[in-house]
Amino acid sequence: MVLEEIYIITKNENQMKKVVMLMVLMAAFTIGYGQTSTRQTASNYLKHGDLAKALETINQCIQDPSTATDAKTWMIRGNIFLEISNSKDEKVKALDAEPMRNAMNSYKKAMEFDTKGDYKEDIFAKVNWQRNNYFNEAVEFYNKKDYRNAMNSFENAAHTMAIANVSDTLALFYAAACAGMSNNREKAKQYYVELLNAKYKSPALYMSLSDIYRQDKDSANALKIAREGQKLYPNDLKLFLAETNIYLTFNQTQKALQYLRYAIQKDSTNPTVYFALGTIYDNLSNDTTKPEELRASTFNNAINCYKNAIRLNSNYFEPNYNLGALYVNKAATINDIANKLPLDAEAQFKKLKNDADQYLGFAAPYLERASEIQPSDLNTLYSLKQIYARTNQQDKLKVIDEKIDNAQHKK
């Protein structure tokens, strides 16, 4: 009798446990179904254009654990915010301060939870549509020369596509270019690094990023990026010259000279290399801390390099101007020496004055050519005025004064 009673009690306890478990399962199913039903209700509100109720309802879903990690929930939420963003109704717009940002964040969440890729194409279509809006907006800002806002819009375009795990390197490259034009080096650096991480390949990328590091006085990274670019593009002379500029910035003149001489061996038909080499020799010839013999030899080297650059490209403004200025500065140095002579050194004084005038004569045709290439460049015009006044060429002096007056009124 006792054994039978114990058995009955045990059996009843097991039955009660089963009932309790069944009730728990039913409750969980009811809650889960309820939130799924709520999500469908939000979708229905969206279809009928009731965005206030749609937003209120979908936000209930993202706060519930049973639907908060469901891709469909976040997809619907993104669609609701997208419609709010596109609405012209002020009451609808008042529902959220940043509907587009919240739409994109919702699509990003949907991508995270969409492990099977059920919504991949739909999300791509949505974000690509918005990417094009940002891109077109950026182009409008760019055409208005509003480079700061153009940069922001290109960045938005690129980062919008990142939601769909797509690298929009074109928008990112334009964002970097606009950052450069708006003098925002930090942003430009950020974009170029993102491009490198996205495996974007372009000589301009390596050259620009290296130059930013150079301007930031970060010689290690400047050289690293320049050399990485050279490995990928061994025949790109500009990347080669980028390393030269780094050496010049950090006063490693001999290394710069070595690289430029090597560059001329690689390509003796490039006027840019001759001009770059000429500027180094030019600077050395004006460095009063250097021995006189070195200054004299580098002066002649500078002349030869500038002449070679002009020979290869007669329309190249910079070597024409620099060579003219080199001669003018030489004349000024000789004049200073002459003016310091004692009064009884008349013969030496006349010789030095003649030498100075000879250098002014050498300078004139190059500065005149520079003025033909860039007629409004005031530095060139002032140099020519100095020459014509010193050599008493009154007719030319009158013409140059008129040119200066016109150039000043254009500014």
Per-position DSSP letters for 21-40, written without gaps between them: HHHHHHHHHHHHHHHHHHHH
Mean per-residue pLDDT, 14-42: 53
For residues 36 and 284, which has the higher predicted lDDT (pLDDT)?
284
pLDDT, tens digit, 9 for 90 and up, residues 193-240: 999 999 998 999 999 999 999 999 999 999 999 999 999 998 787 788
Q: Average pLDDT, stretch 130-142?
A: 93
Q: What is the pLDDT of residue 308?
A: 96
CB atoms < 10 A from the CB of 23, how many? 10
Kindly state the average pLDDT of the residues 275-291.
89
Backbone Cα Rg of the chain: 37
Please give the Cα distance from 394 to 385 (Å, whole number): 10
CA–CA separation, 98 and 86 (whole Å): 12
The per-residue pLDDT of the chain, averaged, comes to 86
Whether CATH 1.10.10 fits 38-118: no
Residue 1 has pLDDT above 60, yes or no: no
pLDDT at 411: 58
What is the structure's pLDDT at 33?
A: 43
Asked if residues 127 and 171 have their Cβ atoms less than 8 Å apart, the reply is no
pLDDT at position 111? 85
- Nearby residues of 180 by Cβ (< 8 Å), 6 or more positions away: 188, 208
**pLDDT tens-digit readout, 151-208:** 999 999 999 888 888 889 999 999 999 999 999 999 999 999 999 999 998 999 999 9
pLDDT value, residue 339: 92
Torsion sign (Cα): 142, 143, 146, 149: negative
Q: How far is CA 11 from CA 4, 6, 16, 23, in A?
A: 11, 9, 9, 19
Whether 31 shows a pLDDT value over 60: the answer reads no
pLDDT at residue 14, as a whole number: 52
Which ranges of 114-184 does DSSP label H, i.e. alpha helix?
Answer: 120-143, 147-162, 169-181
Residues in the chain, overall count? 411
The confidence score (pLDDT) of residue 7 equals 40
Write the CB contacts of 372 (distance below 8 Å, at least 6 apart in sequence). none
Structure confidence at residue 20 (pLDDT): 45
What is the reported pLDDT for 13?
Answer: 52
Q: Confirm if 176 and 157 have CB atoms less than 8 A apart.
A: no
Using the predicted structure, report yes or no on whether residue 348 has a pLDDT greater than 80.
yes
Ranges of each domain in the chain:
38-118, 314-411
